[in-house]
């Protein structure tokens, strides 16, 4: 039952659509009607409002962290993995939006910090490094989720590898259109012209 409670908690927190809520509150309309149609920070950035994008990124990260941390406080370590996976699923498939959400990169960053600091730092280091070098959000995100899964056993947290590997698989699957554009050299760069 604790695993079920943790998963429900994670899903409910993860499914809060901060990108949509913030853009609507700022009078920018429905962020799902622009760009990729996603509710994440990268698409919010396409509104031209960097502050809104940064706030979306931070809040999506915080909800992932909060889900894992609260589950750990209430039900202990094993429940954290269930909350982690459910938080990312909630962000990607929120019931309130017809199961059409974001791609889970920022939420998974928060999840990783919630599970263990070394995993979170590995995620952040790879994410920020790839973003700085290539300026391609999708490439940075996919690299980071793989790095986090690999970091779990390397830093002594093998119990978190299965959920992080599953999350990585999900996030890479959700980026399949981005992967196709990357292979064609057509993926947009942060700060560059959209293609």
Is 167 in contact with 121 (CB distance < 8 Å)? Answer: no
Tokens, residue 185: 């050299």
> Is residue 128's pLDDT more than 70?
yes
pLDDT-above-90 percentage for the chain: 83
In eight-state DSSP terms, residue 156 is T
As a whole number of angstroms, the distance between CA 100 and CA 90 comes to 10
For residue range 155-176, list pLDDT tens digits in order: 999 999 999 999 999 999 999 9
pTM over 0.75: yes
Convert 123-150 into a string of H (helix), E (strand) and C (coil): HHHHHHHHHHHHCCHHHHHHHHHHHHHH
In sequence order, the 6+-apart residues with CB closer than 8 A to the CB of 111 are 64, 65, 67, 68, 84, 87, 88, 167
CB-count burial class (<10 Å; 0-12, 13-18, 19+) for 96: exposed
42 versus 90: the higher-pLDDT residue is: 90
At 72 the pLDDT is 97
Is 29 in contact with 23 (CB distance < 8 Å)? Answer: yes
pLDDT band at 195 (very low <50, low <70, confident <90, very high): very low
In eight-state DSSP terms, residue 1 is -
pLDDT band at 194 (very low <50, low <70, confident <90, very high): very low
At 192 the pLDDT is 62
pLDDT band at 64 (very low <50, low <70, confident <90, very high): very high
As a whole number of angstroms, the distance between CA 122 and CA 59 comes to 20
Instruction: Single out the residue of 142, 136, 101 nearest to residue 123, CA to CA.
Output: 142
């Amino acid at each position: 039952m604790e695993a079920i409670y943790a998963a429900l908690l994670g899903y409910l927190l993860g499914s809060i659509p901060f990108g949509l809520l913030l853009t609507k509150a700022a009078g920018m309309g429905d962020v799902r009607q622009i760009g990729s149609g996603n509710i994440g920070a990268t698409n919010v950035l396409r509104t031209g409002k960097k502050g809104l994008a940064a706030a979306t990124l931070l809040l999506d990260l915080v909800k992932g962290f909060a889900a894992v941390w609260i589950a750990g406080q209430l039900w202990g370590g094993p429940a954290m993995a269930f909350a982690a996976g459910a938080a990312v699923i909630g962000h990607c498939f929120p019931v309130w939006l017809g199961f059409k959400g974001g791609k889970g990169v920022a939420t998974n960053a928060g999840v990783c910090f919630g599970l263990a600091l070394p995993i979170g730092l590995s995620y952040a280091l790879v994410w920020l490094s790839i973003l700085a070098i290539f300026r391609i959000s999708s490439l940075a995100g996919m690299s980071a989720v793989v790095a986090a899964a690999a970091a779990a056993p390397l830093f002594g947290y093998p119990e978190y590898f299965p959920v992080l590997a599953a999350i990585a698989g999900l996030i890479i699957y959700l980026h399949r259109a981005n992967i196709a554009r990357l292979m064609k050299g057509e993926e947009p760069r942060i700060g560059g012209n959209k293609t």
